[in-house]
């Protein structure tokens, strides 16, 4: 049986290798059910949401073993109910974005304890109702939200019941469900894990099963409407794309897909 941990591997690791470091143990406050992790390279910190504890845990970038978080955001003032699928850090404007299913919470990046959000995007006009991905473009001051079969683009500073400035959705997008998101701000690319069909997406939401389908698609932050992706990456080999979570390695021009007890690394130089 797997146990809650954050494992760090060598970039060129392959096969059944041991991690170089592993954050695990009671002091870490890690629990099962956590679905996204974000690394802030500017401040060398790791952010992860704990939905069971209704908390955001922040670790040192070099944390190892049974090491406690350096900060914990938790309490009734936070308005967190079930933080789970996405946490995004904007190191330029020193802000932290947290996804709830039907709203987006924004905190100071260095928030600690029972801290109230500084902004909340919530209401019927937002279109936010089943969010599973979120990324920030600090260069263009934009916020991109993956919401079911749509990508919603907001101004970074939006607050309250605001309409998105752009919506990427429709049959030409080629998807029925968005997943984990990443962004490459130097070029304004939105990179989205997607499921190719409704049945496939629903299976992919389960623990460890059905996540091999779909692919990864790329749009521009300037897109709006029923726009086909600029690139689509699919793997026709055994196991397809692998897991449901994605990460970027710009230095190696690589896309990393994780989940289902494995990591797969793809060369994707076109987006860098």
Q: How far apart are CA 225 and CA 209, in angstroms?
A: 32
Which regions of the chain carry the CATH code 2.120.10.30? 1-114
Q: How far apart are CA 133 and CA 193, in angstroms?
A: 9
pLDDT above 80: residue 31: yes
CATH value of 123-272 in 3.40.50.1100, 3.20.20.100, 2.130.10.10, 2.30.110.10: 2.130.10.10
CATH level 2 (architecture), domain 1-114: 6 Propeller (2.120)
Average pLDDT over residues 92-113: 96
Tokens of 110: 């260095």
Q: What is the pLDDT of residue 2?
A: 63
What tens digit of pLDDT does each residue of 211-230 get? 456 789 999 999 999 999 99
Give me the sign of the Cα torsion angle 196, 200, 185, 167: positive
Please, which pLDDT band fits residue 235 given cuts at 50, 70 and 90? Answer: confident
Candidates 122, 215, 209; CA nearest to 176 is 215
For residues 121 and 214, which has the higher predicted lDDT (pLDDT)? 121
Average pLDDT over residues 115-134: 94
Token match 């995007």: residue? 121
Give me the sign of the Cα torsion angle 268, 239, 86, 153: positive
Tokens of 181: 């998101």
Q: What is the pLDDT of residue 238?
A: 66
Q: What average pLDDT does the structure give for the chain?
A: 88
Average pLDDT over residues 233-257: 85
Out of 30-39, 83-92, 106-115, 219-228, which region has the weakest mean confidence (pLDDT)?
Answer: 30-39
Which regions of the chain carry the CATH code 2.130.10.10? 123-272
What tens digit of pLDDT does each residue of 38-64 get? 999 999 999 999 999 999 999 999 999
In this structure, which long-range contacts are made by residues 94-101, counting pairs with CB atoms below 8 Å and at least 24 apart in sequence? Answer: 95/136, 96/47, 96/56, 97/134, 97/136, 97/143, 98/49, 98/56, 99/131, 99/132, 99/133, 99/134, 99/145, 100/131, 101/129, 101/130, 101/131
Q: How many helices (H) and strands (E) does the chain have?
A: 1, 21
Average pLDDT over residues 149-162: 96
Rounded to the nearest angstrom, the gap between the alpha carbon of residue 258 and the centroid of all alpha carbons in its chain is: 12
Average pLDDT over residues 245-253: 93
Contacts of 93 (CB under 8 A, 6+ apart): 138, 156
For residues 25 and 241, which has the higher predicted lDDT (pLDDT)? 25
What tens digit of pLDDT does each residue of 163-215 get? 999 999 999 997 777 878 999 999 999 999 887 654 444 334 433 334 456 78
What tens digit of pLDDT does each residue of 2-26 get? 678 888 888 888 888 888 999 999 9
User: What does the DSSP assignment read for 133-194?
Assistant: EEEEETTTTEEEEEETTEEEEEETT--BS---SEEE-SGGG--SEEEEEEEETTTTEEEEEE
Percent residues over pLDDT 70 in the chain: 91
């Amino acid at each position: 049986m797997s146990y809650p941990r954050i494992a760090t591997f060598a970039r060129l690791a392959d096969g059944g290798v041991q991690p170089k470091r592993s954050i695990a143990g009671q002091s870490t406050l890690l629990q099962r059910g956590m679905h996204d992790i974000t690394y802030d390279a500017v401040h060398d910190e790791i952010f992860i949401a704990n939905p069971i504890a209704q908390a955001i845990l922040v670790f040192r970038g070099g944390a190892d073993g049974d090491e406690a978080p350096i900060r914990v955001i938790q309490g009734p003032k936070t308005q967190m109910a079930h933080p789970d699928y996405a946490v995004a850090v904007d190191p330029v404007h020193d802000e932290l974005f947290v996804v709830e299913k039907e709203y987006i919470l924004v905190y100071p990046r260095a928030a600690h304890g029972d801290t109230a959000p500084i902004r909340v995007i919530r209401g019927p006009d937002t279109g936010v109702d089943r969010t599973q991905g979120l990324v920030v473009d600090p260069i263009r001051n934009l916020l991109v939200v993956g919401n079911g079969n749509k990508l919603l683009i907001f101004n970074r500073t939006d607050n309250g019941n605001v309409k998105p400035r752009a919506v990427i959705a429709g049959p030409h997008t080629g998807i029925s469900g968005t997943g984990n998101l990443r962004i490459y701000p130097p070029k304004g690319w939105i990179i989205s894990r997607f499921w190719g069909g409704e049945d496939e997406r629903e299976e992919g939401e389960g623990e460890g099963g059905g996540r091999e389908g779909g692919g990864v698609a790329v749009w521009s932050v300037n897109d709006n409407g029923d726009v086909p992706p600029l690139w689509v990456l699919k793997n026709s080999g055994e196991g397809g794309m692998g897991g449901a979570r994605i990460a970027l390695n710009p230095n190696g021009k690589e896309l990393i897909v994780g989940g289902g007890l494995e990591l797969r690394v793809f060369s994707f130089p076109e987006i860098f």
